[in-house]
A and B are shown apart, each in its own frame.
Chain A
């Protein structure tokens, strides 16, 4: 699975949790998930669990700390997929 495909899937997973739809329209790898997309931090766990289900990976607690931007999420998933 290439980076573009992961990126698209990540955006699809994030979409139901995004409160700032304008930011979603112009989303890039640098878009901050909490600050720009206004995803509720408590819901970030649900997002991560969906990453696990959709990409069939396991994400450690520590890994979540590194996920701030969409690009961070894509990089994490890419590293887990090997």
Chain B
């Protein structure tokens, strides 16, 4: 197990605890609101919603190992839809650690004070993809700390929306691998979620569309160290997501 990151300072740990508690306090309002917007505002539906949530519940209750959720990425609101697909507001209120922390793109989701505030209370840590490396590492180290404390993190291993509309295994970023290596006994829940008329990447899934989802647990292993090891782990996760994508399209035939 590689150490991965500089230890998170007590001040930052305290800040994250405060953010978590504020988020928890507002969750009884925020979580149902998000679910209502997705269901009745965007009129999205999720096929086999109960089964998907049951699978996630089972995995969460099975053990309390540190968990990273890794998913395919096609739209700006994927993290919201994924959280909605995996659990009801009621479930998250009772098992708050299973509501994943997200890393939305800072240049999209943190441009105004209102957006920044909204992201703050939605368990988000904005990140600037392609930005200064130290800034990215700082956010990743916070995520690694949270995961090590029993929180759940949602990460897109492609580090951006897939431009081809399909899982791009060769686009593996190293962030997820770096977090995985730094947290002992970490497990990865792969989530593949896609709406029926989502042909390529976009800002939002088509209004009124029906989503199909599946999830699987993997435990990546690598003999490599350093950057190569991180990339290897991300590759394994994306390869699994690509398999899930093939199954998704096979089922749709």
Q: In which size bucket is the chain A interface?
A: 10 to 19
B231 within 8 A of A: yes
Do the beta carbons of A60 and B129 come within 8 Å of each other?
no
Distance (Å) between the CB of A14 and the closest chain B CB?
Answer: 16
CB-CB under 8 A from A62, the residues of chain B are 5-6, 137
**Interface check B25, CB cutoff 8 A:** no
B4 within 8 Å of A (CB atoms): yes
Alpha-carbon gap, A42 to B162, bound state (A) = 13
B202 at the interface (CB under 8 A from A): no
B226 touches A59 (CB 8 A): yes
| Known contacts A40-B130, A42-B171, A49-B228; A61 and B160 CB within 8 A of each other | no
- B145 to A: closest C-beta gap in Å: 15
User: What residues of B have a CB within 8 angstroms of the CB of A61 in the complex?
Assistant: 2, 4, 174, 178, 181, 226-227, 230
A21 contact set on B, CB distance < 8 A: none
Main SS class of interface, A: helix
Q: Decide if A65 is an interface residue (CB 8 Å cutoff).
A: yes
- Shortest distance in angstroms between A13's beta carbon and chain B's nearest beta carbon? 14
Partner of A42, one of B4, B133, B160, B226: B160
A residues near B2, Cβ cutoff 8 Å: 60-61
B137 touches A48 (CB 8 A): no
Closest A residue, CB atoms, query B181? A61
**Bound CA–CA A63/B227 (angstroms):** 9
Task: Please report the total number of B residues contacting A with Cβ < 8 Å.
Answer: 25
User: From residue 14 to 64 of chain A, which have CB atoms closer than 8 A to chain B?
Assistant: 34, 40-42, 45, 48-49, 52, 58-64
Would you call B226 and A58 a contact (CB within 8 A)? Answer: yes
How many A-B pairs with Cβ below 8 Å?
A: 55
A68 to B132, CA, bound (A): 8
Q: Which of B4, B130, B159, B226 contacts A34 (CB 8 A)?
A: B130
Tell me the bound Cα distance from A24 to B228 in angstroms.
27
Asked if A42 and B173 sit within 8 Å, CB to CB, the answer is: yes
The CA-CA distance from A45 to B175 in the complex, in Å, is 11
Let me know if B227 and A49 touch, CB within 8 A.
yes
Residues of B within 8 A of A52 (CB): 226-228
Once the chains bind, are B227 and A48 in contact (CB under 8 Å)? yes
Q: Which of A49, A61, A62, A68 has the most CB of B within 10 A?
A: A61
Q: A42-B130, A67-B133 are in contact. Are A49 and B231 (CB under 8 A)?
A: yes
Q: How far is the CA of A60 from the CA of B6 in the complex (A)?
A: 13
Q: Given A52-B227, A64-B174, 18 other A-B contacts at CB below 8 A?
A: A40-B130, A42-B130, A42-B160, A42-B171, A45-B172, A45-B227, A48-B227, A49-B231, A52-B226, A52-B228, A58-B226, A59-B226, A60-B227, A61-B174, A62-B137, A64-B227, A65-B133, A65-B134
